[in-house]
Every structure is written in C-alpha cells, then in structure tokens.
Structure 1
Amino acid sequence: MEEKNIKNSTKAFEKALIQSKPTHYFLHLYISGTTLKSIRAIEIIKGICEDYLPERYTLEVIDIYQQPELVKQAQIFATPTLIKTLPLPLQRIIGDMSQTEKIMVGLDIVPKND
C-alpha cells in the first residue's frame, strides 16, 4: 500500500513540475515584402507574444521574397502565414492576423470554447 502512495506522489510531483515550467513557443511568420499587410501581421503577432508569452517565445519573420527556397519547404501557399512548431501540435494560421482571439486559440494560449 505504501508503494502505491509513493507512485501516486511521484506522478503528482512530475505533473506539477511539468505544469510549473513555462512553455517556450517557436513561431515562424511568413510574409511577402514590406507591404502594409505584412507590417500589420508582424505588429499583431509581436503584440500577442509580448502580452501573453513574455520571454517565452522565439519569433522568426521570413520574407518569402528574400528567402524563396523556404516557401516550398514550409508549404506556404498564402501570406501572411504563422506556423507554431513548438509546443506541439504544429499549428498553421493563414490570413491577415487581425482575429487575435483565433490566433490565441490556435497558439493554445487560451482554451478553445466548444
């Protein structure tokens, strides 16, 4: 019986340890040039990250005109496109990034309302 309590305590401790460690987000924002749409997408994503993931994110902005070889590799069909590679699962958000609530749900910052 005592061994079972130790196993339960260990599992509870491990779960609490995982939950207490802040998750680091790795994001890739694909844009096309310095258009108003691209600049706005960068501002919105940076704002969300600074407000909800301070010091817990890496954002790489990729201009498809500057790095066209990455378009095929990342399967980019439209810009702006935001890809969250970590934490899993991988998420892809396509569009003007103006719907911040959908972005936050897509990034798992806020839970999805069913």
Structure 2
Amino acid sequence: MEEKQYELRLYVAGRTQKSVTALSNLKKYCEEHLMGQYSIEVIDLLENPQLAEGDQILAIPTLVKKVPEPVRKIIGDLSNKEKVLVGLDIRTKSE
C-alpha cells in the first residue's frame, strides 16, 4: 500500500500567539502521525493577502489539507488534537 502524502497549508496573519501555537501543534501532530509523509506551507496573509481568496479563508489561523482529497479546513490554534487528526483524516472518531 502506498503511503499518502499530506500537503498542508497553514494560513496566518503575522506571528501572533495563536499562529505560533497553531504551527507548533501542527508540526507536533505531523511528526507523531505522518512522519516523512507531509509538507507544511505557511502563508502569511499580511504579506500575501491575495492568497486568502484561493482557499476562501475567512478566519485565521486556518489549516487547509490540500492533498489527499477531500480538501478540509480546520480553523483555530489546532489545540484540540482529536479534532485535528479527525479533520485531516489521520484518525477516525472511534479510534
């Protein structure tokens, strides 16, 4: 079975506490569950506000899972580990 590659985008606005926490939580979960199977692209909307439109970002921080499909969005600092793992299809609710 081929391992899935996860392409993740984290939209932030500057280096706020919430943004830093979201990135740190995301990296921790990816290292625990997706070792070597993920890439994280951090997009700062203060520097590139036009990029918010493509993924229809309405709140920040927002994590977007581009690949594998379906595309999923998780809003907030990603501190709820179970919600993040279920949202990224890494784990099912029953696990």
Between 1 and 2, higher relative CO (CA 8 Å, sep ≥ 6) is seen in 2
Q: Which has the higher helix share?
A: 1
Provide structure 1 residue ranges, at least 5 long, that are not aligned to the other structure. 1-19
Root mean square deviation of aligned Cα: 0.8
Cα distance in 1, alignment partners of residues 56 and 79 from structure 2: 22
Amino acid at match of 1:83: V
Identical pairs, percent: 45
Count, aligned residues: 94
Whole-Å separation in 1 of the counterparts to 2:33 and 2:23: 15
TM superposition score normalised by structure 1: 0.79
TM-score computed with the length of structure 2 as normaliser: 0.94
> Runs ≥4 in structure 1, deviation > 6 angstroms?
none
Deviation of 1:40 after TM superposition, in Å, equals 0.5
Q: Which runs of 5+ in 2 are unaligned?
A: none
Q: Which has the higher strand share?
A: 2
Q: Secondary structure at the match of 1:84?
A: strand
Q: Structure 2 CA distance, aligned partners of 1:100 and 1:31?
A: 19
Aligned-pair CA distance for 1:96: 1.9
Which residue of structure 2 aligns with residue 28 of structure 1?
9
Bigger Rg, structure 1 or 2? 1
